[in-house]
Structure 1
Amino acid sequence: MHFDVFNGDADGILSLVQLRLAEPKESVLVTGVKRDINLLKKVDVKAATSVTTLDISMEKNIEALNELLNKNTNVLYIDHHRSGDIPSNSALEAVIDTDANTCTALLVNERLNGQYVLWAITAAYGDNMLASAERLADEVGLTDAQRAQLKNFGIYVNYNGYGRTVDDLHFAPDLLFRELVQFESPFDAINAKDSVFHQLEKAYKEDMANAKAAKVLADNDTAKVVELDDAPWARRVSGVFGNELANLSPDKAHAVITLNSDNSYTVSVRAPLNNKQGADEICVQFPSGGGRAGAAGINALPANQLEQFIEVLGAYYR
């Protein structure tokens, strides 16, 4: 039995779309909201004969990975997050690149020699890898209008992945994958009857309108921190709102914090676009923190550490 394990954001979903278009395979899908990254432990070790793992940190899944490898389960692991020490095991094929300007879908695109490059471009836009997306768009000769469509599509798919639980999302990530993998090209998906593109576009615009009134907790030369409500719309929009803030002020770091029901905070951090490093180093200083150099997060920042976090964020980029 094969298991496909993937992050529920644009990068994870569209990485798997590329792979399964190129290599159709019956599989058990294991995914969740974007911040649900401890996914390998959900794989049935006894049943699994092979596993593909996309866009989740190896460092955060190392125990479950080792358990699979100890059972001689073949694992293909493609990712761009912090990996920690990569196991040396003949059953593991690891494609790990933590460069701040790549993402999992771009690594898959390289593996497939550009076979489904339009999906890779869409994912790169969605993961806010704008320069990398534009370079690929130049290579394939996309028009400005086509770039705008793929950029918006990537943003909408990414936006759909944010939430406390799958109930916060408009589409469960596994169902969204099954919908999108039917289409050879993202343009086919956009133009389809009852397109998810247009459904997500409407929802995205409504949620972003709410985010414009976000409370600003700190704003200085190096960093800006805003707070969103404890509400489904706020949880959905936290990541893409952070990306938009980063794009508007590329020399600043940004953090979007969302109040949780237990009075802790979910934190989404974006390093300055002109200095894409350090976001992961900041977040791992706090419980439940992790991510990559350009974008990272904290799942449950204790309320009494909020001021410390704001101070660490601002000081890091001085």
Structure 2
Amino acid sequence: MAERQAETVAFYDIFNGDADGLCALHQLRLEEPRDAVLVTGIKREVRLLGRIAPVAGDVLTVLDISLAENRDALAHALEAGARCLYFDHHYAGEIPRHPNLEAHIDPAPDLCTSLLVDRYLHGRHRAWAVVAAFGDNLFDSARRAALPLGLSEEALAKLRALGETLNYNAYGESVEELYFHPAELYRRLSRYADPFRFIAEEPAFQQLRRGYADDMKKAMAVEPMRQTTAGAVYLLPDAAWARRACGAFANYLARTHPGRAHAVLTPSLAGGYTVSVRAPIARPLGADLLCRQFPSGGGRPAAAGINRLPAEMVEAFARKFEESFAPGS
């Protein structure tokens, strides 16, 4: 590829492919439309900054991916003279101080990235933040954010369904296992300023709803592998539907049993297991601390995961899971 001239400014929108990343970007672009290179992928593909090679003057908008996982790539971009607007709610570690970096990062368990963008935009596209909060399983936060909108229960249920289906689409071993590449789903979303129009008119929504219902029906038939009063561990089968449903299933379990923690393990095509962990909704803390004890683990206090848990570490993970969420821990 020919080297790009530094004086040719490029814009990059770099975002997690789940509901939160999609809706965070959508809010910003409703407010400030911009043609940009879209950099995204499956839910667990978070080291996205390393995909690009920005030069002086380039503008990066980064949404819903951990700064801790992108620290080196961000440092290189800033050193090259790129400017970066960064929104996120995951563990970040130390946030760099740089004149070209504007960071809005808050790991509070009741926040998602779209709610941070909503705060930044003073609520001007609030309905999309509500969609994202529902998608991130932050139902109380979604309802609080929606209060000024005066929505009926029926309307809130529609936004919840949209958030859940957008989030569901991001889970899979690869983009080939998804119904839509997240960049394509964003392009479809970007045609609609009103989420209710997207729900009523966009064929992608109906396709995702059918897939979500089919996959969740299969997941809910699975019995836990281990269960205590503090939490339950589920092992899903080695199937594309299971890899798509793992996150939505973990969210469902968390809502159904708010007093206990949950872990959902799904066999990976590369060997080992992908893990989704949800802390108890009644005490949404500790999921990230647990997952960071294992290679490729990370996330946030209420919801975290491990990208690749070796098979020989499953028993150790289960013990750590039970210790982490035992009463009094």
TM bucket, shorter chain:
over 0.9
CA contact (8 A) 2:288 2:301 kept: yes
Unaligned residue ranges in structure 1 (runs of 5+):
none
Shift of 1:48: 6.7
Corresponding position of 2:6: none
CA contact (8 A) 1:215 1:228 kept: no
Shift of 1:230: 1.6
Q: Does 1:290 align with 2:294?
A: no
CA contact (8 A) 2:53 2:77 kept: no
Query: Using the alignment, how far apart are the partners of 2:186 and 2:268 within structure 1?
Result: 28
Corresponding position of 1:182: 191
Q: Identify which range, 256-265 or 108-117, moves more after superposition.
A: 256-265
Corresponding position of 1:279: 287
Corresponding position of 2:248: 240
Shift of 1:47: 7.8
CA contact (8 A) 1:2 1:48 kept: no
Shift of 1:115: 1.0
Change (3 A) 1:51 1:225: same
In the superposition, the TM-score normalised over structure 2's length comes to 0.95
1:168 to 146, 165, 177: 177
3-state SS of paired residue (1:229):
coil
CA contact (8 A) 2:295 2:308 kept: yes
CA contact (8 A) 1:3 1:48 kept: no
Q: In structure 2, give the amino acid aligned to 1:24.
A: P
Runs of 4+ in 1 over 4 A off after TM superposition: none
Corresponding position of 1:89: 98
1:26 to 35, 38, 42: 35
Corresponding position of 1:53: 62
Q: Where do residues 1-318 of structure 1 align in structure 2 (5 Å cutoff)? A: 1-46=10-55, 49-192=58-201, 194-318=202-326
Query: Using the alignment, how far apart are the partners of 1:262 and 1:143 within structure 2?
Result: 45
CA contact (8 A) 2:278 2:304 kept: yes
3-state SS of paired residue (2:81):
coil
Query: Using the alignment, how far apart are the partners of 2:271 and 2:175 within structure 1?
Result: 20
RMSD: 1.0
Shift of 1:46: 3.5
Shift of 1:206: 0.5
Query: Using the alignment, how far apart are the partners of 1:48 and 1:314 within structure 2?
Result: 49
CA contact (8 A) 2:42 2:172 kept: yes
3-state SS of paired residue (1:256):
strand
Q: In structure 2, give the amino acid aligned to 1:41.
A: G
Unaligned residue ranges in structure 2 (runs of 5+):
1-9
3-state SS of paired residue (1:221):
coil
Please give the per-residue CA displacement for 1:1-59, whole angstroms capped at 9, x wherever unaligned.
00000000000011001111110001000000000000000122248711000000000
Query: Using the alignment, how far apart are the partners of 1:314 and 1:217 within structure 2?
Result: 13
Query: Using the alignment, how far apart are the partners of 1:47 and 1:79 within structure 2?
Result: 24
Shift of 1:261: 2.5
3-state SS of paired residue (1:314):
helix
CA contact (8 A) 2:87 2:116 kept: yes
Number of residue-to-residue matches in the alignment = 317
3-state SS of paired residue (2:308):
strand
3-state SS of paired residue (2:41):
coil
Query: Using the alignment, how far apart are the partners of 1:270 and 1:37 within structure 2?
Result: 19
In the superposition, the TM-score normalised over structure 1's length comes to 0.98
Q: In structure 1, give the amino acid aligned to 2:26.
A: V
CA contact (8 A) 1:9 1:161 kept: yes
